[in-house]
Amino acid sequence: METLKIAIAGFGGVGRATANLLLSRRRRYRDVYGMDVRLVAVCGSRAGLADAAGLEADRLDGLEPGLSGPDFIAASGADILIEAGPSDFRTGGPGLAYIRAALTAGRDTIVISKGALVHSGRELRGLARASGARLKVSGAAAAALPTIDLLDHSLLGCTVIGVEGILNATTNYLLDAMTARAIGFEEALAEAQAGAFAEADPRNDTEGWDTASKLLILANFGLGHDLAHDLMMSDLTVEGIQSVTRPQIEAWRERGLVPKLVGSLASEDGAIRAGVGIRTYPLDDPFAHVRGKNKAIRITTDAMGETVAIGSGTEPLATAAAALKDLEHILVDRTARPLALSELPS
């Protein structure tokens, strides 16, 4: 049986959830793919742990200081890197160094954090092409909501005319609370922060930048465009929800409209228009019924018409599962065999 070694860089909540889910699925990987999948290294910013024979769940709390960085991952002998560190789209760090080193070495890479993909996506795609490494990004593009997969698999061969996405759970929760319960932005935000699903500094979410990051990833990694990082700061129109008022909410309600923070892409004569902002939807539109922390995407194509997906999952498990979905795609490629329905777990 072939052995496949995995390393995880970034060991906060998402990284730990990914490690635990990976370890719980080892039997599946053996039974379905004939692969002995081992977690051989994990690391955070200052500490890590490695074992060529494979780490078990009960050892993951014993990280050793000084074991960190791209050289540590390379020395582990990992075949695949899962990058799950903090996300900074303004610098690409800290994940950029890990991803760059892995792709240069020809190591298949699964990326969860958005920062490096937004900041240096063009470079990273080039490194993957040059080395032949697979670069997978489902976890960075709305996690449990299928976005990249729809473009890469379900709608393959079609020309995408437009994309609309409710891609940020926090802003959708806030707008839903403001609309359904007639509370103000500050009250809704305090509630979300008390529930630990809004950040202490929520500006990347509420000002639209998280949605913009995911939109850029969809455009470049899902649709093959080459929108530059500096669009995030200048040419891409980005508006958030922080200025939405109760009178606005009431006016929309009276007209039977529901506000959502939406990222949109449209193709016109070969050019791409991209933006993030408030859109309102009538009650007969599926987007009007995307409640709470759910997300949604609508993709319009030339031949298959309109496809809508709505969903969410409990975090950080849902994001971990999205990353391991990418791992299964890599396992399918490596074993050069399709996954039969009879092999799926019941």
Check pLDDT > 90 for residue 138: yes
Residues 199 and 258 in one domain: yes
Domain that holds residue 171: 148-311
Residue 82: name the closest of 338, 345, 325, 339 by CA: 325
Residues 170 and 192 in one domain: yes
pLDDT-derived band at 342, boundaries 50, 70, 90: low
Residues 272 and 175 in one domain: yes
Q: Which residues lie across from 322 on neighbouring strands?
A: none
Over residues 133-156, mean pLDDT: 93
Q: 76, 50 in Cβ contact below 8 A?
A: yes
Q: 125, 220 in Cβ contact below 8 A?
A: yes
Provide the number of structural domains found in the chain: 2
CATH assignment at residue 263: 3.30.360.10
| CA distances (Å), origin 143, targets 66, 136, 253, 308 | 31, 12, 30, 16
Residues 171 and 272 in one domain: yes
The sign of the torsion formed by the CA atoms of 11, 87, 274, 130 equals: negative
Tokens 């993030």 -> residue: 276
pTM: 0.92
Residues 196 and 64 in one domain: no
Mean pLDDT of the residues in the chain: 92
What is the spatial distance between Cα 250 and Cα 323, in angstroms, rounded to a whole number? 40
Alpha-carbon Rg for the chain, nearest whole angstrom, is 20
Over residues 222-227, mean pLDDT: 86
What is the spatial distance between Cα 49 and Cα 42, in angstroms, rounded to a whole number? 6
pLDDT-derived band at 317, boundaries 50, 70, 90: very high
Over residues 311-339, mean pLDDT: 89
Residues 74 and 197 in one domain: no
